[in-house]
Amino acid sequence: MIALAPLSPDWHAAARDRLRARAQAAGLDGLLLTRGANLTYATGLFLTPNERPMAVWVPVTGDPVLFMPELERENAETAGIADLRLYDEFPGTTHPVLWMLDEIGRRKVGIDALEARLLERAQARLTRLDLRDHAMEARYLKTPEELALTRAAASYADAFLHRLRAAGADIITQGGTEQDLLADGMTHARNALFAAHGAAFAGTKMGITATVHSGPRAALPHGAVLRRAPQPGETLIAGIGASLGGYHAESGATFILGEPSPEQARIMAAMTACNDAAVDTARPGAHCEAVNTAALDALRDAGLSDTIRHRIGHGMGLEGHEAPWLAPGDATELTASMVFSNEPGVYRPEIDGYRAINTMIVTDSGGAEVPSRFQALVPPADRVIAL
Which SS3 state, helix, strand or coil, does residue 117 take? Answer: helix
Peptide bond into 91 cis (omega under 30): yes
Superfamily for domain range 144-385: Creatinase/methionine aminopeptidase superfamily (3.90.230.10)
In this prediction, residue 249 carries a pLDDT of: 98
Q: What pLDDT is stored for residue 101 in this prediction? A: 98
Global model pTM greater than 0.85: yes
Tell me: domain 9-139, CATH 3.40.350.10, correct?
Answer: yes
CA distance 356 to 242: 15
Q: Is the pLDDT of residue 17 over 90?
A: yes
pLDDT given at position 366: 79
**Residue 354 in contact with residue 218, Cβ under 8 Å?**
yes
- Indicate whether 1 pLDDT > 70: no
CA 256 to chain centre: 27
356 backbone dihedrals φ, ψ, rounded to 5°: -125, 150
**CA-to-CA dists, residue 351 to 145, 256, 264, angstroms:** 44, 13, 11
Q: Which residues contact 320 (CB under 8 A, 6 or more apart)?
A: 209, 241, 243, 248, 250
Judged by DSSP in three states, 305 sits in helix
Residue-wise pLDDT for 336-363, tens only, equals: 999 999 999 999 999 999 999 999 999 9
Do the domains 144-385 and 9-139 match in fold? no
Say whether pLDDT at 3 is over 80.
no
What type of residue is 68?
A: M
Where exactly are the structural domains of the chain? 9-139, 144-385
Residue 277 — very low, low, confident or very high, per pLDDT cuts 50/70/90? very high
pLDDT number for residue 2: 74
Of 222, 292, 288, the closest CA to residue 252 belongs to 222
pLDDT at 225: 97
For 114-167, what is each residue's pLDDT tens digit? 999 999 999 999 999 999 999 999 999 999 999 999 999 999 999 999 999 999
For range 200-204, the mean pLDDT: 96
Q: How many CA atoms lie within 13 A of 107 on its CB side?
A: 1
- Give yes or no for a contact between 28 and 60, defined as CB atoms under 8 angstroms apart: yes
Q: Which of 348, 332, 352 is nearest to 340 (CA)?
A: 332
pLDDT class for 52, splitting at 50, 70, 90?
very high
Is the CB of residue 39 less than 8 Å from the CB of residue 47? yes
**Average pLDDT estimate for 166-192:** 98
Whether residue 100 is predicted with pLDDT greater than 70 in this model: the reply is: yes
Residue 316 DSSP class = -
Helix or strand (DSSP H, E) at 317: none
Give tens-digit pLDDT for 232-256.
999 999 999 999 999 999 999 999 9
Q: Is the pLDDT of residue 229 over 80?
A: yes
Q: What is the pLDDT of residues 292-327, one digit of tens each?
A: 999 999 999 999 999 999 999 999 999 999 999 999
Predicted local distance difference test score (pLDDT) of residue 223: 87
**66: helix, strand or coil:** strand
> Residues 291, 276: contact at Cβ < 8 Å?
no
Distance, CA of 166 to CA of 385 (rounded, Å): 8
- Contact between 270 and 299 (Cβ < 8 Å): yes
The angle that helices 36-43 and 9-25 make with each other, rounded to 10 degrees, is 120
Whether residue 324 is preceded by a cis peptide bond, meaning omega within 30 degrees of 0, is: yes
Side-chain-facing half-sphere of 51: CA atoms under 13 Å: 5
Distance CA 376, CA 332 (A): 28
